[in-house]
Amino acid sequence: MLTGAAALADTPERVVSVSDAPQRVVSVSDAPQRVVSVNLCTDQLAMLVAAPGQLVSVTPLAANPRTSAMADAAAGLPVNHARAEEIYLLNPDLVLAGRFTDRATIDMLRRLDIRVEEFSPAYALSDVAARLTQMGAVLGQQARAAELVDGFNADLAMLAGPVGNRPQAALYYANGYTSGDASLAGQILSAAGFDNVATGMGYGAIGALPLEVLAMAAPDVVITGNPYPGASRAEAVMDHPVVHALKRGRVSGTITDRNWVCGTPFVLRAVEDLVALRHAVEAGR
């Protein structure tokens, strides 16, 4: 059962404190009053950190339970579609964007003298604390962010205890992609007590894993993506007989995208799910 930051809503070797991520710090008295987020991950970080009424608009993805861990919290907020014209009409004093948000939108907003703060994606569990700290700094909510960081670090330490004989696991997504330990998904896997077969093959962040190589690796667990409705050819590989054969007689898992996609405290739910999966593997040995 999670507490702290996870209840509100890895490798654990490095715990980030609120002083580790330098950024422009805003005092409470100078905190922005009308904040607009144009990125799914900043949507959720802002909903966690912002004071009541401070966040005035988020993206439609924030209210989609498929993609957002905070869909219920976002349901009552006005949405925007990351278009400069509509954002300008919201009269924001701060816009929160991702590093890969459309550059034309960001450049136009800055030409209109609207402050834009950009957030990089999380590539490691340590980035969760860094992103919370950054959000607290730009919103003038440092105390709230520090509380969330402390809760996240405590919950992560509780989940990611020492593991003896670590089972082998493979992450397998649409188009046959996988993730190594230099990725958020890979670190979630490691924190839950699994060894990532992709890392042993030399994968760092993300890359295509040939089906034949996956079959020869014969991992203890194959964790596949959660398919979207429809008939995507990209996801057809996850229904391949080889993948089904690897899962047959083994414990298998499915990635729940909303808990894996952003560097928020909700990644702890993904770790918790995988810890339970590891226990099931160990019980079947």
Distance CA 181, CA 189 (A): 8
> 16 - beta bridge partners?
none
Tokens in use for 73?
């919290």
pLDDT digit of tens for each residue in the chain (285 aa)?
344 443 433 333 333 333 344 456 666 668 999 999 999 999 999 999 999 999 999 999 999 998 999 999 999 899 999 999 999 999 999 999 999 999 999 999 999 999 999 999 999 999 999 999 999 999 999 999 999 999 999 999 998 766 778 999 999 887 888 999 999 999 999 999 999 999 989 888 888 888 888 888 889 888 887 766 666 666 666 677 777 677 665 556 666 678 998 999 999 999 999 999 888 888 776
Crossing angle between the packed helical segments 142-159 and 267-283, to the nearest 10 degrees: 10
Q: Are 3 and 155 in contact (CB under 8 A)?
A: yes
What stretch of H or E contains 253? strand 253-255
Q: Which domains are delineated in the chain?
A: 4-158 (3.40.50.1980), 168-283 (3.40.50.1980)
Q: Are 271 and 1 in contact (CB under 8 A)?
A: no
Q: Please list, in sequence order, all residues whose beta carbon lies within 8 angstroms of the beta carbon of residue 151, skipping any fewer than 6 positions away.
A: 3, 4, 5, 6, 7, 8, 265
Nearest CA-CA partner of 196 in 226, 157, 167, 225: 167
